[in-house]
Each structure stands twice: as structure tokens, then as C-alpha cells.
């Protein structure tokens, strides 16, 4: 099998000619790593990997982050289970966000394996924060360059968070969210793998641009939300049995569509530790 890398419209690339459950040469690993850094999210089809193989593949990239808020796999704490039962109405991740930007070293990325899919629907959208940044006007780039923002877990996972309540026993640890110290990151980061600039604010966790009022922050985050989710920067990934998505949390946002009421969907996610980010 020889490796293929096919860039996709909007965001990401599809990788073919590789079995993620089998030993991988250093050469293929390096090519996949470069595609990941350059495209922000990479997709694989027709993979039949066990939980152990999922964990082994993840460990080759970075240490695994054990999720503090999502339910874990009963035998593998490294795997967060994102599940929606047929009789549940709310899904997990059903709004644009990037995972764990509230941490001082935001997660590098996540490897999501489809375990049970609805007959139709349940796609995931990805938006490129490289493209969102590149498309800003020179004046806006200059304005954003020195800015820093506070990111907090409380709005989504804290005691007052509706999100938390509506998802019942699939999400927990609101005390941990309350005690977690908020983090500060540049509004525009230099991506630690690619060296490219990316917009690093998101509507889920960015609570304050430092030096700006709450109203100015909300207006700015809303403006960036509209800007960054233009169709030109977005790819909608249609899951099939055996599909895997591996996204970078620093250069993409994602959004799990909740358009499959009455059906079950179960995904296994492993999140990888990241590094502190700089401008
Ligand atoms: C997420 O990690 O936010 C959910 C992605 C998905 O279930 O498609």
C-alpha cells in the first residue's frame, strides 16, 4: 500500500493507503504528521481498529489526556465515549468549538473513531482557523496581533452550565470545572507544528479579550464566529463504518451535527496533550 494524501475543500485532507492498526514506517508517520500539521484535520476510511490499537496509535503522537468531564470507556480510561442514545435529544459537541482551549497547554488534538452510526446524519463539520486567519484584512491582523484572551471551562462544564445539565450522566465533574484556573492564550497563535498563523478564539470557551469589556469581547467573538464558519473554510465529514477523524485543536474548530433523532450514535475519542501556545 502506498500512502495518498488528498486535500479536501474547505478544511482537511483524506489519507489513504494506510492501516492504522498495523505497524507504520517512520516515513509514513512523518508524511501523516506533516499532512496533519498543514491541513488541520485528517480523515481515514475503512479502518478496523480495536480499542488497544486506537490507544497505541494515539501514544505514537503524544501522551494521552484523560478527559475530566466526559464519560470514559469502562475498560479504557484513555478513551472518552461520546454517546447519544436513541431516546436522548442532546448530543455532545453539537456547536462550534475547539476542545480544551481552557487548559494552559490546550490539547493538541483528538482521534475520533466511529463505533456506532445512525442510518443517516451525524456528520461532523470542521473549520480551518488557518484559512480564517489568512482571510482577515491586514488592518484586522494588525489589531489582533498583540491581543490575548481568557479561556474558561466554566461556561460549558461549570455549575451554572445548561450544557452540563442537559447531557445528564454523560458529562460530569462540575466542581473540577469550577476550580480549574482559567487560561490565557494569544488571539492569534503560531502553530507549534506548522509554524503557520491561526485564529485561536472560540465561542464555547473564550470569555474575555484582555483589556476589553464583556460587550466588546462578545461582539468580537461573534464576528469571528461568522467569519470563520464561512463555507470556504469548512468541510463536512460524512461518517461511515471504519471512519476516523484526527483533528488539531489549535488550527480547527469542529461541530457534531445533531440531526439523527431516534437513533444511537457512539464515538470513541482519544485526546492528546498539547503545549503552551505563543503568538
Ligand atoms: C466532539 O468531540 O466535539 C464531538 C465530535 C463528534 O461526535 O462528531
Per the rule left: phi > 0, alpha: psi between -120 and 50, beta: everything else, 198 is: beta
Q: Within the chain, how many helices (H) and strands (E) appear?
A: 8, 16
**pTM of the entire predicted model:** 0.94
pLDDT at 179: 84
pLDDT at 157: 76
pLDDT at 175: 78
pLDDT at 34: 97
Question: CA 209 to CA 170: how far, in whole Å?
Answer: 31
Predicted confidence pLDDT, tens digits, the chain (279 residues): 799 999 999 999 999 999 999 999 999 999 999 999 999 999 999 999 999 999 999 999 999 999 887 888 999 999 999 999 999 998 999 999 999 899 999 999 999 999 999 999 999 999 999 999 999 999 999 999 999 999 998 887 777 766 666 666 766 677 777 788 899 999 999 999 999 999 999 988 999 999 999 999 999 999 999 999 999 999 999 999 999 999 999 999 999 999 999 999 999 999 999 999 999
Question: CA 40 to CA 93: how far, in whole Å?
Answer: 18
**Centroid of chain to Cα 186:** 18
pLDDT digits (tens, 9 = 90+) for 215-239: 999 999 999 999 999 999 999 999 9
Question: CA 18 to CA 263: how far, in whole Å?
Answer: 31
State the CATH class of domain 4-272. alpha beta
pLDDT at 165: 66
Q: Beta strands 124-128 and 188-190: pairing type? A: unpaired
Helix, strand, coil shares of the chain as percentages rounded to 5? Answer: 25, 25, 45
pLDDT at 67: 85
Is 97 marked active-site? yes
For residue 263, count CB atoms less than 10 angstroms from its CB and return exposed for 0-12, middle for 13-18, buried for 19 or more. Answer: middle
Is 185 marked active-site? no
Is 254 marked active-site? yes
| Domain limits, the chain | 4-272
Report CA Rg, the chain.
Answer: 18
The catalytic residue among 167, 170, 254, 265 is 254
pLDDT at 171: 66
**Three-class secondary structure of residue 153 per DSSP:** coil
Q: Indicate the top mutation candidate among 81, 84, 112, 244 to test ligand 1's pocket, ranked by most ligand atoms within 8 A of CB.
A: 112
Query: Which residue's CA is the closest to the ligand 1 atom numbered 3?
Result: 93
User: Does residue 82 have its Cβ closer than 6 Å to ligand 1?
Assistant: yes
Rounded distance from Cα 266 to ligand 1 centre (Å): 10
DSSP state string for 222-260: HHHHHHHTSGGGEEEEPP-TT-EEEEETTTEEEEE----
Amino acid at each position: 500500500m502506498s500512502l495518498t494524501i488528498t486535500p479536501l475543500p474547505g478544511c482537511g485532507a483524506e489519507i489513504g493507503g494506510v492501516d492504522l492498526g498495523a505497524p507504520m514506517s517512520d516515513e509514513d508517520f512523518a508524511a501523516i504528521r506533516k499532512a496533519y500539521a498543514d491541513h488541520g484535520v485528517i480523515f481515514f476510511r475503512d479502518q478496523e481498529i480495536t480499542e488497544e490499537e486506537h490507544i497505541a496509535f494515539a501514544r505514537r503522537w503524544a501522551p494521552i489526556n484523560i478527559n475530566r468531564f466526559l464519560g470514559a470507556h469502562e475498560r479504557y480510561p484513555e478513551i472518552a465515549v461520546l454517546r447519544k442514545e436513541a431516546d436522548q435529544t442532546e448530543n455532545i459537541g453539537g456547536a462550534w468549538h475547539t476542545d480544551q482551549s481552557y487548559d494552559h497547554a490546550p490539547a493538541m488534538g483528538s482521534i475520533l473513531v466511529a463505533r456506532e452510526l445512525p442510518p443517516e446524519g451525524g456528520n461532523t463539520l470542521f473549520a480551518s482557523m488557518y484559512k480564517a486567519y489568512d482571510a482577515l484584512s491586514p488592518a484586522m491582523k494588525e489589531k489582533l496581533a498583540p491581543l490575548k484572551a481568557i479561556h474558561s471551562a466554566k461556561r460549558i462544564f461549570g455549575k451554572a452550565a445548561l450544557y452540563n445539565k442537559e447531557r445528564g450522566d454523560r458529562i460530569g465533574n462540575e466542581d473540577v470545572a469550577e476550580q480549574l484556573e482559567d487560561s490565557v492564550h494569544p488571539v492569534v497563535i503560531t502553530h507549534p507544528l506548522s509554524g503557520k498563523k491561526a485564529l485561536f478564539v472560540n465561542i464555547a470557551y473564550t470569555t474575555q479579550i484582555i483589556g476589553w469589556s464583556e460587550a466588546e469581547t462578545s461582539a468580537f467573538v461573534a464576528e469571528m464566529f461568522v467569519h470563520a464558519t464561512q463555507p470556504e473554510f469548512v468541510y463536512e465529514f460524512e461518517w461511515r463504518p471504519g471512519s476516523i477523524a484526527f483533528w488539531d485543536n489549535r488550527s480547527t474548530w469542529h461541530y457534531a451535527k445533531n440531526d439523527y433523532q431516534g437513533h444511537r450514535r457512539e464515538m470513541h475519542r482519544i485526546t492528546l496533550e498539547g503545549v503552551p501556545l505563543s503568538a
